[in-house]
Chain A
Amino acid sequence: MTVVFEGGARALLLVHAVLGFTAVFATTHHAVSAFLAARGRSVQRQLQRFGWMASASIVAQALFGLALYPVYRVRVRFADLERSAPAVVQLFDLKEHLSALALALVLGASFAGRALQPDAPAAESRAVAALSGCGAALVWAAALIGLYVTARHPVGAP
C-alpha cells in the first residue's frame, strides 16, 4: 500500500518548511509595515512588496502542506502518534485550523494593503494592520506547532 506523494515526502517536507519560514518572515514584515502605515508613515511600497511575497509564500506553503497531508495522516498520525502521543495529534489538528484561518487573513490583508493610499482614513489603515497582525500571529503559531510535530516524527521517516 502506498500513499500519494509518499516517495517524495521528505523533499516535499523540506520545501514546505522553507516556504513556511518565507511565509513567517514575509507576513511579519507586512504586519510591521501595516502598523507603521496605521501610525501615519508612508510605507506603500513595502506594503505592496511584502503583500505579494506573503500571499505567494503562504499559498505555495499551503499547497505543499495539502500534498503532504495524506502521508502524514497514514504514516505518522495513524501509524505512530495516535498510540504514542495523542496530544500531539490534537495539536497538529489545531495547526491545520490556524493555518487555514491565517491563509484567509494574510490574503485579505495583502489585497487590502496593496490598495491602501497614503492619505487613507485612520480606520482603514488600522483595519489593514489588524488583519495583517492577526494573520502573522497565526502563521507564527502554525509554524511553531509544525516544527514541534516534525521534531516528534517527520513524514518520510520510518
Chain B
Amino acid sequence: MRELRAALWGVSAFAVGYLLPGTLRLPTLAYDPVARTIGFTAQVSGVAMRYYGDLLWACAAGSCAAAAVWTSRRRARPVAVLTGAALSLVALDVVFYLSRLLAQV
C-alpha cells in the first residue's frame, strides 16, 4: 500500500528532522517574541525560541520523504521493517527528550 509506505517514511524523516537540528545546533529560524524579530541562526539565546524553526525542518523532511516514496518506482521494503524503523526513531526522540528532562530535574 503506497499510502502506508509514504506515511512510514514520512514519520521516520520527521523524527530525524526534528531531533537533529536542535541537538547539532544547526541553523534554523529563530523568533524573538520581545523584539518581534525573525532570524536564521544557530545561536539562540535569552527569550528567543527555535521551536518554530525546528518544527519547520521536521515538517519539510517528513513531507519530502513521503513525497519521494509516493512517486518512487523502486521495489518496496517490507512493511514490518519500515514500521519498526519509524517507531524506533520516534522512540529514540522520546527517550532523548525524556533523558534531558530527567537529567535536569
Task: Spell out A's residues near B (CB within 8 Å).
Answer: 1, 3-4, 66, 69-71, 73-74, 78, 86-87, 90-91, 93-94, 96-98, 100-101, 104-105, 107-109, 111-112, 114-117, 120-121, 123-124, 126-128, 130-131, 134, 138
Contact = CB atoms under 8 A, between A and B. Distances in A.
Interface in B6-30: 6-8, 10-11, 14-15, 18
B61 to A, nearest CB: 10
A123 B80 contact: yes
B59 to A, nearest CB: 8
Interface of B: 1-4, 6-8, 10-11, 14-15, 18, 31, 33-34, 36, 47, 49, 51-52, 55, 58, 62, 78-80, 82-83, 86-87, 90, 93-94, 97-98, 100-101, 104-105
Contact of A111 (B7, B34, B86): B7
Nearest to A70: B33
- By secondary structure, the B interface counts as helix
B101 A93 contact: yes
Contacts of B11: 104-105, 108, 131
A127 B90 contact: no
A90 B43 CA distance: 20
A127 B34 contact: no
